[in-house]
Structure 1
Amino acid sequence: MASPSLFRHRNFTLLFGADVISQVGTQISMLALPLVAVLALDASAFETGLLVAAETAAFLLVGLPAGVWVDRMPRRRILVAADVVRAVLLGSVPIAWWLGVLTLPQLYGVALGTGLATVFFDIAYQSYLPSLIERDRLVDGNAKLEIVRSASGVAGPGAGGWLIQALTAPVAVLADAVSFLVSALLLRRIDAVERVPERSGRRGLAEEIGEGLRYVASHPILRMITAATAVANFTHGLFGAVEMIFLVRVVGLSPGSVGLLFSAAAAGGLAGAAVVGPLSRRVGSARAVWLSPLVFYPFMLLVPLTEPGWKTALFAVGMFMNSVGVVVYNVTQVSFRQGITPEHLLGRMNATIRFTVWGVLPLGGLAGGVLGELLGVRATVWISVVLGLLSAVPLLLSPLRRMRDLPAASEAASPQEPAA
């Protein structure tokens, strides 16, 4: 008998609704914040790279201890607090702009502060879903949440580009601040019971961090997934440092056109979320993990060829196809991670992986800013795309190459005895 739709599950629906609102606002802000720097404050390639680095530096600063705290505290409380903090920080940008006191250091501070809140939110979020739904429904739940991210990627940049063009970039950031407040109100209504470890069972911070590190490092599949994602994210940081400058100053697009281009590219995420379930069943969930970067990422080679006129479509095509692969990859590997990890280790497992794969983003952002100044923006885009091809190598060297499907929780209870 088929399970009832997750949309009939009250708590999942509240989480889904909070994600819808927050993700649309976030997509607007992801477009608006760099454009505030580029258009309102005339930031250089290096200064924009610093902004990208500030947005993700928090994963290096507090990524590992955040996992311990997430395992020690009610995760819903962390999610609500993180939303409120991000709303306040982002709300300060339009206020400072209206007062005529907005500066790049403030943008760096807002980016760093929202990044710190995002560290806790993301780790708690990925650790919270298994508390709301059964683990055999995690692929379905994650696919639905990826549809939210992808749909917001279609609607958000287009709306953001229009808002920026009509109302200026600082005002558009306000939309994201409001979205976080609404998200927090919905999350507060979730009434699922969480199991939080007793204080008597807690050990030192370093010992608990070490347990999470050992769990990931000793698992042959988790270890290689982490390595592959880290390579991909480093190159994404390189690309993100010069992306806006490439489109606005090199290609010569308006904010509205940039928003539409991002919306067209993000439609690939919707396609990926729609096909991940059937694709995983047809070719196997393990094969879907390593085939997705091999099949879809090479289309990114079209992106550096973007020029004014019809060749702007090359950017959309490359990003569209890459987004399909990214969503297929993320849904399958994140569901696998959530399914095999014991409840008391979920926060630290996610924190260890996030620390590694997001911690390289600021390094990529800094490197992209430097390369943009030394070699030029288009050359930096080429370097980032070509290096991204290496992300598939760890997956091809892992046990995934000899498997059709990822092992279930019952087959992979211990990282010391992984099923192959």
Structure 2
Amino acid sequence: MPRSRLGSAFWRFWSVELATETGIGLAVIALQTMVVLDLGGGAAEVGWLASSRWLPYVVLGLVVGAVVERMRRRTTMLVSDLARAVVLGALAWAWLAGLGSLWLLLGAAVLLGGASLVNDTASQAFVPRLVPRDRLLGAHQRLDAGSSAAQSAGPAVSGAVIAWLGAPVSLLAAALVHLVSVVVLATLPVDEPAPARRQRLGPAIVSGLRFVHRHPLLGPFARWTHVWFLCNGAAMTLLVPLVLLDLDAGPAGLGLALGVLGGATLVGTALAGVVAGRLGEGRTIVVAKAAYPVAWGCVAAAGLAALAEGAALVVVLVGLAIAGLAMGIDNPSEMALRQRATPDRMQSRMNATMRTVNRAMIVVAAPIAGLVGDAIGFGPALVIVAVGFAVAAAGMALSPLASRRGAR
């Protein structure tokens, strides 16, 4: 799809999303490194960090979805990006001043999660206002390509910056990137109308829940996606101590691992339109989900097999490459399917309903996975996770998605 068909406003928005994803990539690996290397934490502490980051999605997700629907979406994104820059800058200053602690990190993660919740709710609902519905797949393909590039470059750059200058500098860089996105958003050429008067907050939340879970296509899709997020939250929690502690690969190794995941996602995103064109969006999702048990089975094998450190890291990278490829192929079809099946008045509530339960799965899975990993080992814990991914893939294959070529 030519760039001109998506419009200049979309491409300015795309640059904002690229900047914020880069900032998040810089920040997340810095926070994880602070927990493990600066504070001497293990998988349990990494799990609590992940849980804290996603906790606002669980507690406030449905409310924020209904509230954002009553606000201009660009203004909401601008304010939330500014908030993230302030939190990241303040945390970096506190760490450099010698005030760092696990509780400070967890508190900062909660604030970042709250600002990200507001930003994500507004930005996802903003896309259908920028491009026609028949171009949503192409729009999300390009958004995901930018996100994957940022997720690939961000951790790799952050790992190098941390090894050279320390984690607080990586946080300051993340804050600066968010400030850049604020400037671009403020000059975004779009005339967004004032929101119309909506129904009361409580009934609005209930109608969003009913819409998603009673929908013949979105309902089964949502339920099996929740299972997938449960497994992915556990997997990403266990990956960090596996690489840093068992494989002793350090921040650079963790940055490389996350960079490979992001790079493979970028490749998958480039293929997403071709695959969806042949299989349809529903079947593309089903096929992609089947790759995750294989991917995380590889990562688990690196924690179980008696391999040299370098060889074990290569096995991890292979697994993450498979996972990233599947994620890149999968996500544009998921987003296009969801948004085509949802009227504009329900976009924020649909996104919030899906995201709230998805993030709740991470909040539950991350600390439990950390405790299980510390108790039985990261490799055996990842075997359990791979089985969970297989269950989610089977559920998707038996759902109406398997027989749907399109999202309508």
- TM-score bracket, normalised by the shorter chain, equals over 0.9
Match of 2:234 among 223, 235, 238: 238
Alpha-carbon contact 1:225-1:394 (below 8 Å) kept: no
**What is the deviation of 1:377?**
2.6
1:6/1:12 contact within 8 Å kept: no
| Residues 307-326 of structure 1 mapped to structure 2, 5 A cutoff | 307=307, 308-326=309-327
Post-superposition shift, 1:4?
A: 4.7
| In structure 2, C-alpha distance between the alignment counterparts of 1:69 and 1:305, rounded to whole Å | 45
For the Cα contact (< 8 Å) 1:293–1:391, is it kept in 2?
yes
Provide closer, same or farther for how the CA distance between residues 297 and 378 of structure 1 changes in structure 2, counting only shifts above 3 A: closer
Please give the alpha-carbon distance, in whole angstroms, between the structure 2 residues aligned to 1:245 and 1:362: 18
SS in structure 2 opposite 1:194?
coil
Which residue in 1 is equivalent to 2:269?
273
Q: 2:26 maps to which residue?
A: 28
Instruction: Tell me if the contact between 2:281 and 2:407 (Cα under 8 Å) persists in the aligned partners.
Output: no
Q: Does 2:185 correspond to 1:211?
A: no
Task: Spell out the pairing of 1:287-366 with structure 2 (5 A cutoff).
Answer: 287-295=283-291, 297-306=293-302, 307=307, 308-366=309-367
TM-score (norm. length: structure 1) = 0.92
2:220 maps to a residue whose letter is M
Contact 1:264 1:320 in 2 (8 A): yes
| Structure 1 position 252, deviation (Å) | 1.0
* Aligned twin of 1:116: 114
Q: What one-letter code is carried by the residue in structure 2 that aligns with 1:23?
A: E
Distance in 2 of aligned mates of 1:20 and 1:49: 26
Matches within 5 A, 1:148-297: 148-199=146-197, 202-295=198-291, 297=293
- Pairwise CA distance, 1:143: 0.3
The alignment partner of 2:188 has SS state of: coil
Mapped partners of 1:295, 1:169: distance in 2: 34
- 1 CA distance for matches of 2:93 and 2:6? 40
1:84 corresponding residue in structure 2: 82
Query: SS state of the match for residue 57, structure 1?
Result: helix
Aligned length: 403
The sequence identity of aligned pairs, in percent, is 28
Q: Name the structure 1 match of 2:60.
A: 62
Alpha-carbon distance in 2 for matches of 1:193, 1:217: 33
Question: 1:135: how far off?
Answer: 1.1
TM-score, structure 2 length as denominator? 0.95
**Unpaired runs of 5+ in structure 2?**
none
Query: For residue 406 of structure 1, what is the aligned residue in structure 2?
Result: 406
* TM superposition shift of 1:185: 1.1
Q: Name the structure 2 match of 1:411.
A: none
Deviation at 1:151, TM superposition (A): 0.9
Task: Give the C-alpha shift of residue 7 in structure 1.
Answer: 7.8
| Counterparts of 2:368 and 2:200, CA distance in 1 | 35
Task: Give, in whole Å, the separation in 1 of the partners of 2:260 and 2:112.
Answer: 27
SS at match of 2:27: helix
Which letter does structure 2 place at the counterpart of 1:41? Answer: L
Letter matched to residue 257 of structure 1 = G
Which amino acid in the other structure matches residue 368 of structure 1?
A: A
- Cross-structure match for 1:16: 14
Q: Which residue of 1 aligns with 2:3?
A: 5
Q: Which residue number in structure 2 is paired with residue 104 of structure 1? A: 102
